[in-house]
Structure 1
Amino acid sequence: MLTEQFSMIAFTAALEPLRLANRATGRKLYDWLLFSEDGKTAEASNGVRVGVDHGFREAESLDAVVVCSGVDVQQLDHRSLIAVVRKLVKFGAAPGAVCTGAYVLAKAGLLDGRRCTIHWENRPGLQADFPDLDVGEDLFEIDGDRFTCAGGVAAADMMLSLIKRDHGEVVATAVTDQLILHRVREASERQRMDMRTRLGVADPKLLRVIALMERAIDRPQTMEEFARGVGVSPRQLERLFLKHLGTSPNRHYIKIRLDHACQLLRQTRMPILDIAMASGFSSASYFSQSYLDHFGHTPSNERKAAV
């Protein structure tokens, strides 16, 4: 099921392992059909149009249904897709999602009581809209007949795991070799790269402080508390940030919280004051001024641009 602006990399990463499983065994282990809203074409977020077999409403008698979505998933009208997916699941189809497709399954009520995952950038928005959902940070989640994964090539990891489950390790290994992958990543592996690599720093105390900051977004701590948490003085903390990141710890902490707020503004309908509080700002005016100073525009303008 290809939604408007679906992720091309997630789509191909999900489909190609199935094709290669057929090729590796010389048997038709998997078959698939492509669906879009109008039954004509589906346009990916990179502008490429993909021909499809049918419209959403024509889907019937499927073993599994996989929703492939992409950017701005929260802004689109998924009512017709949700109705079809619910019908298919009622008659035995296993529901799955790649990239942001988990948002559609959540809106359909098909992830209630199940563990799921989504692209790390969309996780705050999914949790804000569905606070009772069990959303993990893993590459993919297979919970019973529900399967979801993050964006990018995580779809390939999930499909390789499903191939291994259904047809054994020999087939999954052959497909992995064809994909020129060195190994199948485990579901429990994190989506984002190691913080040391992401930030380009190696100082263990600095990395520990930043990890603490990323876990203390809605309930801010002082720099004294962070410094005490890693066994340094506030002055030493200032020196660490200036030396390795060229900024102060306070500025870096505010950036982490503002980036979090930006995702909520783009992905949810939460009131701006609620987003301010969820990002650790005690007043709307302070939040708005901080946002303007960092991004060059206000939270209200951010939300208008996202609609």
Structure 2
Amino acid sequence: MSTTAVAGCHYNIGFLLLPGFSQLAFASALEPLRMANHLAGHRLYTWHLVSHDGGEVHASNGLATLVDQALEPMPALDLMLVCSGVGVQAHCERPVLTWLRRLAERGTPLGALCTGSYVLAMAGLLDGYRCTLHWEHIGSLHAARRFPAVTFSSQLFVMDRDRFTCSGGIAPLDMMLNLIGRQQGLGLAEAIAEEFIHERIRGVDDRQRTPLRVRLGHSHPKLEEVATLMEANLQEPLALDELARYAGLSRRQLERLFQRYVEVPPLKYYLALRLARARLLLLQTDMPITEVALACGFISPPHFTKCYHDHFGHSPSGERKRRALRQAELTISHERSLEE
């Protein structure tokens, strides 16, 4: 599937709907395609809904969705997205897995929404790839070590060569906007986001907001308690001794717990939370950088700049310049599309 922007190219997108699929995730992926056609004034995307037997499929909310066809005959597609949701393990049937393998053999790019990555992994089609799925399932897969050849990420979506995987909720909206931006130009993607009142198109660097207990793959009350304290005190960070005292631990016990289960020292984890918050403020507000630093617990702007650069690879001002450059590119692209 080409990711080069060639405005006007037509793409065929397939959606394999499995019982219990997330209607929100499905709609978040489909609606940007519809709006792209509407704004362009002609058909840029055609979509095909597929089910195991060609019958209607009930989503997790109970609503039935009519489809266009069964697995056969196999359609000619530029991308096939597997849409699933709750109880995905029960729907990894052999005919479905075999059909997906045949699509892969034909060179069809494959993707997944919500828990659909589990289906692709069961088919062996994510071996050697990076992927993501809804945060509720990442921790259990890490704990079970079920797919050792697959690298699971906590990103909102992952585009790895010919595999396009996405977490649930409304994250598919961002993945499809990124695809549309690459294929049809950033101006169209931004126009779609505006129609949907979507303030910012999130990118491949954005991550799911994953609870610590899910990242660990199990529950550890003391760690969860300390992490919650950290999240509630970003502007005025607590000292390590204070965190330990609140949790009823010694400083050394707290350090050992983080090193064993999170694999980073507690203060490094705390710093990452504050920097993630700072990045959101830089991207989503016009607050002066000095105020952003203070809002995230950095008294010294130079120290904030150094920490930010070490973590993200560029300075806070560089982050703002990147945002401004992207916005300028979107504006120019949108104006050109209107002229055409």
TM normalised by structure 1 equals 0.65
> For the Cα contact (< 8 Å) 2:84–2:116, is it kept in 1?
yes
CA distance in 2, matches of 1:122, 1:194: 12
Matches within 5 A, 1:47-126: 47-126=62-141
Matches within 5 A, 1:1-307: 1-127=16-142, 128=144, 129-192=146-209, 209-210=226-227, 230-232=240-242, 234-238=244-248
* Cα distance change on mapping 1:176 and 1:56 into 2, 3 Å: same
Task: Please state how far the C-alpha of 1:27 moved relative to its aligned partner.
Answer: 2.1
Give the direction of change, closer, same or farther, for the CA distance of 1:7–1:159 in structure 2 (3 Å limit). same
The superposition leaves residues 220-263 of structure 1 with CA deviations (integer Å, 9 ceiling, x where unpaired) of xxxxxxxxx92338544349xxxxxxxxx9xxx9xx9xxxxxxx
Measured after TM superposition, the shift of residue 99 of structure 1 is 0.5
Aligned to 2:235: none
- Give 1:159 deviation, angstroms: 0.3
Q: RMSD of the alignment, in Å? A: 2.8
SS at match of 1:155: helix
CA shift in 2, pair 1:84/1:194, >3 Å: closer
Q: Which SS does the other structure have where 1:148 is aligned?
A: strand
Asked if structure 2 preserves the Cα contact closer than 8 Å seen for 1:21 and 1:29, the reply is: yes
Between the aligned partners of 2:66 and 2:148, the Cα distance in structure 1 is 36
* CA offset digits 1:10-59 (Å, max 9, x no partner): 11000000111111111211101101112020110100000001112332
Counterpart amino acid of residue 232 in structure 1: E
- How many pairs were matched up? 217
Partners of 1:95 and 1:146 lie apart in 2 by 5
Distance 1:132 1:33, change over 3 A: same
Instruction: Give the deviation of 1:107 after TM superposition.
Output: 0.9
After superposition, the Cα gap between the structure-2 partners of 1:3 and 1:119, relative to the gap in structure 1 and judged at 3 Å, is same
Q: CA deviation at 1:207?
A: 8.2
- The more displaced of 99-108 and 84-93 is 84-93
Matches of 1:168 and 1:208, distance apart in 2: 45
Aligned counterparts of 1:87 and 1:158: Cα–Cα separation in 2: 25
- Equivalent residues of 2:226, 2:243 under 8 A apart: no
Partner SS state of residue 110, structure 2 = strand
* Alignment CA distance shift 1:115-1:234 (3 Å): closer
1:119 Cα deviation (Å)? 0.1
Q: 1:132 to 1:212 in 2, by over 3 A?
A: farther
Separation in structure 1 between the aligned mates of residue 181 and residue 225 of structure 2, nearest angstrom: 37
CA deviations 1:249-305 (Å, max 9, x no partner) are: 9xxx9xx9xxxxxxxxxxxxxxxxxxxxxxxxxxxxxxxxxxxxxxxxxxxxxxxxx
The answer on whether the counterparts of 2:155 and 2:208 sit within 8 Å (CA) in structure 1 is: yes
What is the TM-score normalised by the length of structure 2?
0.59
| Structure 2 residue runs without a partner (length 5+) | 1-15, 213-222, 231-238, 262-340
Rounded to whole Å, the distance in 1 between the matches of 2:224 and 2:167 is: 25
Question: For the Cα contact (< 8 Å) 2:92–2:122, is it kept in 1?
Answer: no
SS of 2:205's equivalent in the other structure is coil
Q: For 2:243 and 2:118, how far apart are their aligned partners in 1?
A: 43
SS of the residue 2:159 aligns to? strand
| Change in CA separation of 1:236 and 1:180 when aligned onto 2, cut-off 3 Å | closer
